[in-house]
Amino acid sequence: MDTRLIVFTDLDGTLLDLKYSFKKALPALRLLRMKNIPLVLCSSKTRAEIEYYRRKLLNTHPFISENGGGIFIPKHYFKFQISNLNFHIVEGKKYYLIKLGTSYSALRKTVGRLRSEGFDVRGFGDMDIEEIAELTGLKTREARVAKRRDFDEPFIFNGSKRDLKSLLLRIRSLGFNYTQGMFFHIMGNSDKGRAVEILKRLYMRQHGTLVTAALGDSLNDEAMFKKVDYPVLVKKHNGSYDKGILLRKLMKVNGIGPEGWNKAVVKLIKTVFS
Protein backbone atom coordinates (compact mmCIF):
# COMPACT_ATOMS: atom_id res chain seq x y z
CA MET A 1 0.00 0.00 0.00
CA ASP A 2 1.13 3.55 -0.63
CA THR A 3 2.33 5.73 2.23
CA ARG A 4 -0.53 7.82 3.57
CA LEU A 5 -0.17 11.25 5.19
CA ILE A 6 -2.48 12.02 8.12
CA VAL A 7 -2.60 15.56 9.55
CA PHE A 8 -3.84 16.22 13.09
CA THR A 9 -4.52 19.79 14.11
CA ASP A 10 -5.53 21.91 17.05
CA LEU A 11 -8.13 24.61 16.38
CA ASP A 12 -7.91 27.65 18.69
CA GLY A 13 -4.78 29.70 17.98
CA THR A 14 -3.66 27.22 15.33
CA LEU A 15 -6.06 26.66 12.44
CA LEU A 16 -8.28 29.43 13.86
CA ASP A 17 -7.12 32.96 14.69
CA LEU A 18 -8.39 35.16 17.52
CA LYS A 19 -11.53 35.92 15.50
CA TYR A 20 -12.09 32.17 14.91
CA SER A 21 -11.31 32.53 11.21
CA PHE A 22 -9.29 30.07 9.08
CA LYS A 23 -9.19 32.32 6.01
CA LYS A 24 -5.36 32.49 5.95
CA ALA A 25 -5.19 28.69 5.86
CA LEU A 26 -7.45 28.27 2.82
CA PRO A 27 -4.70 27.48 0.26
CA ALA A 28 -3.38 24.59 2.36
CA LEU A 29 -6.88 23.37 3.14
CA ARG A 30 -7.66 23.21 -0.57
CA LEU A 31 -4.43 21.31 -1.17
CA LEU A 32 -5.30 18.75 1.51
CA ARG A 33 -8.71 18.15 -0.08
CA MET A 34 -7.24 17.94 -3.57
CA LYS A 35 -4.76 15.26 -2.45
CA ASN A 36 -7.35 13.47 -0.29
CA ILE A 37 -5.22 13.85 2.85
CA PRO A 38 -7.22 13.31 6.06
CA LEU A 39 -7.32 16.33 8.37
CA VAL A 40 -8.24 15.27 11.90
CA LEU A 41 -9.40 18.07 14.19
CA CYS A 42 -8.05 17.56 17.72
CA SER A 43 -9.18 20.25 20.12
CA SER A 44 -10.30 21.18 23.62
CA LYS A 45 -13.61 22.14 22.01
CA THR A 46 -16.77 20.09 22.50
CA ARG A 47 -18.29 17.75 19.93
CA ALA A 48 -20.88 20.33 18.88
CA GLU A 49 -18.25 23.08 18.52
CA ILE A 50 -16.02 20.87 16.37
CA GLU A 51 -18.95 19.75 14.23
CA TYR A 52 -19.65 23.40 13.46
CA TYR A 53 -16.12 23.87 12.11
CA ARG A 54 -16.18 20.51 10.31
CA ARG A 55 -19.17 21.77 8.34
CA LYS A 56 -17.44 25.05 7.52
CA LEU A 57 -14.28 23.17 6.51
CA LEU A 58 -16.19 20.54 4.49
CA ASN A 59 -14.40 18.01 6.68
CA THR A 60 -15.67 14.42 6.81
CA HIS A 61 -12.87 12.78 8.80
CA PRO A 62 -12.77 11.54 12.42
CA PHE A 63 -12.23 14.15 15.13
CA ILE A 64 -11.04 14.30 18.73
CA SER A 65 -12.96 16.38 21.26
CA GLU A 66 -12.17 17.90 24.65
CA ASN A 67 -8.42 17.28 24.78
CA GLY A 68 -8.67 13.61 23.90
CA GLY A 69 -11.76 12.76 25.92
CA GLY A 70 -13.66 11.41 22.93
CA ILE A 71 -12.80 10.12 19.46
CA PHE A 72 -15.66 10.44 16.98
CA ILE A 73 -15.43 8.22 13.89
CA PRO A 74 -18.05 8.60 11.14
CA LYS A 75 -19.85 5.35 10.43
CA HIS A 76 -18.49 3.42 7.44
CA TYR A 77 -15.33 5.60 7.45
CA PHE A 78 -13.07 2.59 7.95
CA LYS A 79 -13.61 -0.65 6.05
CA PHE A 80 -13.45 -2.76 9.21
CA GLN A 81 -15.85 -2.86 12.15
CA ILE A 82 -15.00 -0.26 14.79
CA SER A 83 -17.36 -1.97 17.20
CA ASN A 84 -15.10 -5.03 17.32
CA LEU A 85 -12.17 -3.13 18.82
CA ASN A 86 -11.14 -3.36 22.46
CA PHE A 87 -12.26 0.12 23.52
CA HIS A 88 -15.25 1.62 25.34
CA ILE A 89 -17.30 2.34 22.23
CA VAL A 90 -20.72 3.93 21.99
CA GLU A 91 -22.58 3.58 18.70
CA GLY A 92 -24.62 6.62 17.72
CA LYS A 93 -26.59 7.61 14.63
CA LYS A 94 -23.64 9.27 12.91
CA TYR A 95 -20.52 8.12 14.73
CA TYR A 96 -18.78 5.49 16.73
CA LEU A 97 -17.56 7.25 19.87
CA ILE A 98 -14.47 5.90 21.59
CA LYS A 99 -14.76 7.22 25.14
CA LEU A 100 -11.43 7.87 26.85
CA GLY A 101 -12.33 10.65 29.25
CA THR A 102 -13.79 10.78 32.74
CA SER A 103 -17.42 11.84 33.12
CA TYR A 104 -18.05 15.56 33.32
CA SER A 105 -19.97 15.15 36.60
CA ALA A 106 -16.83 13.70 38.23
CA LEU A 107 -14.79 16.65 37.00
CA ARG A 108 -17.33 19.13 38.36
CA LYS A 109 -17.26 17.43 41.77
CA THR A 110 -13.47 17.69 41.77
CA VAL A 111 -13.54 21.40 40.94
CA GLY A 112 -15.94 21.89 43.86
CA ARG A 113 -13.66 19.92 46.15
CA LEU A 114 -10.64 21.98 45.13
CA ARG A 115 -12.55 25.17 45.87
CA SER A 116 -13.60 23.83 49.28
CA GLU A 117 -9.93 23.20 50.02
CA GLY A 118 -9.14 26.86 49.46
CA PHE A 119 -8.10 26.97 45.79
CA ASP A 120 -9.60 29.90 43.88
CA VAL A 121 -10.83 27.98 40.82
CA ARG A 122 -13.85 28.55 38.61
CA GLY A 123 -14.81 26.22 35.79
CA PHE A 124 -17.11 26.74 32.82
CA GLY A 125 -19.77 24.97 34.88
CA ASP A 126 -19.60 27.83 37.41
CA MET A 127 -20.03 30.53 34.77
CA ASP A 128 -23.02 31.82 32.87
CA ILE A 129 -23.08 32.05 29.08
CA GLU A 130 -22.23 35.75 29.04
CA GLU A 131 -19.08 35.29 31.13
CA ILE A 132 -17.83 32.45 28.93
CA ALA A 133 -18.48 34.58 25.84
CA GLU A 134 -16.51 37.47 27.35
CA LEU A 135 -13.58 35.27 28.38
CA THR A 136 -13.32 33.41 25.10
CA GLY A 137 -14.40 35.97 22.53
CA LEU A 138 -17.13 33.59 21.37
CA LYS A 139 -20.58 34.73 20.34
CA THR A 140 -23.36 33.95 22.82
CA ARG A 141 -24.68 31.06 20.74
CA GLU A 142 -21.19 29.53 20.49
CA ALA A 143 -20.51 30.07 24.20
CA ARG A 144 -23.68 28.16 25.03
CA VAL A 145 -22.38 25.19 23.03
CA ALA A 146 -18.92 25.47 24.64
CA LYS A 147 -20.51 25.16 28.07
CA ARG A 148 -22.10 21.77 27.26
CA ARG A 149 -19.19 19.47 28.05
CA ASP A 150 -18.60 15.74 28.40
CA PHE A 151 -14.97 14.97 29.28
CA ASP A 152 -13.01 18.12 30.12
CA GLU A 153 -13.57 21.17 32.33
CA PRO A 154 -11.79 24.42 31.42
CA PHE A 155 -11.13 26.60 34.47
CA ILE A 156 -9.49 29.82 35.56
CA PHE A 157 -7.29 30.13 38.63
CA ASN A 158 -6.42 33.13 40.75
CA GLY A 159 -3.35 32.81 42.94
CA SER A 160 0.43 32.89 43.09
CA LYS A 161 2.81 30.62 41.17
CA ARG A 162 3.34 28.71 44.40
CA ASP A 163 -0.42 28.27 44.83
CA LEU A 164 -0.69 27.11 41.21
CA LYS A 165 1.98 24.48 41.76
CA SER A 166 0.08 23.24 44.82
CA LEU A 167 -3.16 23.16 42.84
CA LEU A 168 -1.70 21.10 40.01
CA LEU A 169 -0.12 18.65 42.45
CA ARG A 170 -3.47 18.31 44.19
CA ILE A 171 -5.25 17.59 40.91
CA ARG A 172 -2.77 14.78 40.28
CA SER A 173 -3.14 13.42 43.80
CA LEU A 174 -6.91 13.17 43.29
CA GLY A 175 -6.34 10.96 40.23
CA PHE A 176 -6.94 13.52 37.48
CA ASN A 177 -4.82 15.08 34.76
CA TYR A 178 -4.53 18.70 33.68
CA THR A 179 -3.27 20.70 30.76
CA GLN A 180 -3.07 24.33 29.73
CA GLY A 181 -4.05 26.20 26.60
CA MET A 182 -6.17 29.35 26.60
CA PHE A 183 -7.44 28.02 29.96
CA PHE A 184 -6.36 25.40 32.43
CA HIS A 185 -8.19 22.11 31.90
CA ILE A 186 -8.90 19.25 34.28
CA MET A 187 -9.59 15.81 32.80
CA GLY A 188 -9.36 12.12 33.54
CA ASN A 189 -6.91 9.59 32.14
CA SER A 190 -7.02 11.01 28.64
CA ASP A 191 -5.03 13.43 26.52
CA LYS A 192 -4.59 14.34 22.88
CA GLY A 193 -1.64 11.99 22.54
CA ARG A 194 -3.54 8.88 23.60
CA ALA A 195 -6.38 9.71 21.20
CA VAL A 196 -3.98 10.38 18.33
CA GLU A 197 -2.21 7.07 18.95
CA ILE A 198 -5.50 5.16 18.75
CA LEU A 199 -6.51 6.85 15.51
CA LYS A 200 -3.06 6.22 14.05
CA ARG A 201 -3.49 2.48 14.70
CA LEU A 202 -6.89 2.54 12.97
CA TYR A 203 -5.48 4.37 9.94
CA MET A 204 -2.55 1.93 9.77
CA ARG A 205 -4.96 -1.00 9.80
CA GLN A 206 -6.67 0.46 6.75
CA HIS A 207 -3.78 2.03 4.84
CA GLY A 208 -0.57 0.39 6.06
CA THR A 209 2.43 2.75 6.23
CA LEU A 210 1.67 6.23 7.54
CA VAL A 211 3.41 9.57 7.82
CA THR A 212 1.81 11.69 10.53
CA ALA A 213 1.95 15.37 11.40
CA ALA A 214 0.39 17.50 14.12
CA LEU A 215 0.03 21.27 14.36
CA GLY A 216 -0.60 23.26 17.52
CA ASP A 217 0.31 26.39 19.42
CA SER A 218 0.40 25.54 23.13
CA LEU A 219 1.42 23.17 25.88
CA ASN A 220 -1.80 21.17 25.67
CA ASP A 221 -0.64 20.02 22.21
CA GLU A 222 2.59 18.47 23.52
CA ALA A 223 1.10 15.00 24.09
CA MET A 224 -0.14 15.04 20.49
CA PHE A 225 3.24 16.21 19.21
CA LYS A 226 4.97 13.24 20.85
CA LYS A 227 2.93 10.76 18.79
CA VAL A 228 3.64 12.02 15.27
CA ASP A 229 6.52 12.13 12.79
CA TYR A 230 6.28 15.88 12.20
CA PRO A 231 5.23 18.01 15.20
CA VAL A 232 4.72 21.64 14.16
CA LEU A 233 4.42 24.62 16.50
CA VAL A 234 2.88 27.83 15.18
CA LYS A 235 3.31 31.24 16.79
CA LYS A 236 0.80 32.54 19.29
CA HIS A 237 -1.19 35.69 18.55
CA ASN A 238 1.53 37.85 20.20
CA GLY A 239 4.18 36.48 17.84
CA SER A 240 5.88 34.21 20.40
CA TYR A 241 6.24 30.44 20.65
CA ASP A 242 5.08 28.52 23.69
CA LYS A 243 8.31 28.09 25.65
CA GLY A 244 6.95 25.16 27.65
CA ILE A 245 7.34 22.70 24.75
CA LEU A 246 10.88 21.34 24.60
CA LEU A 247 10.66 18.43 22.16
CA ARG A 248 13.88 17.86 20.23
CA LYS A 249 12.20 17.19 16.88
CA LEU A 250 9.73 20.10 17.17
CA MET A 251 9.42 22.21 14.02
CA LYS A 252 8.72 25.91 14.58
CA VAL A 253 7.02 27.66 11.72
CA ASN A 254 7.33 31.41 11.17
CA GLY A 255 3.73 32.50 11.24
CA ILE A 256 0.92 33.25 13.68
CA GLY A 257 -1.98 30.81 13.88
CA PRO A 258 -3.55 29.95 10.50
CA GLU A 259 -0.87 31.89 8.59
CA GLY A 260 1.86 29.67 10.05
CA TRP A 261 -0.43 26.64 9.70
CA ASN A 262 -0.78 27.29 5.99
CA LYS A 263 2.99 27.57 5.46
CA ALA A 264 3.68 24.43 7.44
CA VAL A 265 1.09 22.25 5.70
CA VAL A 266 2.18 23.31 2.20
CA LYS A 267 5.81 22.58 3.10
CA LEU A 268 4.87 19.29 4.71
CA ILE A 269 3.00 18.05 1.64
CA LYS A 270 5.95 18.94 -0.59
CA THR A 271 8.33 17.13 1.79
CA VAL A 272 6.29 13.94 2.01
CA PHE A 273 5.38 13.69 -1.65
CA SER A 274 8.58 15.03 -3.24
Point out the residues that are catalytic: 10
Rounded CA separation 48/45 (Å) = 8
- Output the CA torsion 49→265→204→206 (10° steps): 70
Strands (E), 43-151: 63-65, 70-74, 89-91, 95-99, 121-123
The H-or-E segment that residue 205 falls in is helix 192-207
Starting at the edge strand found earlier in the chain, the sheet holding 63-65 runs 89-91, 95-99, 70-74, 63-65, 39-42, 4-9, 210-216, 230-235, 251-256
Asked whether the beta carbons of 13 and 182 are under 8 A apart, the reply is yes
237 SS3 class: coil
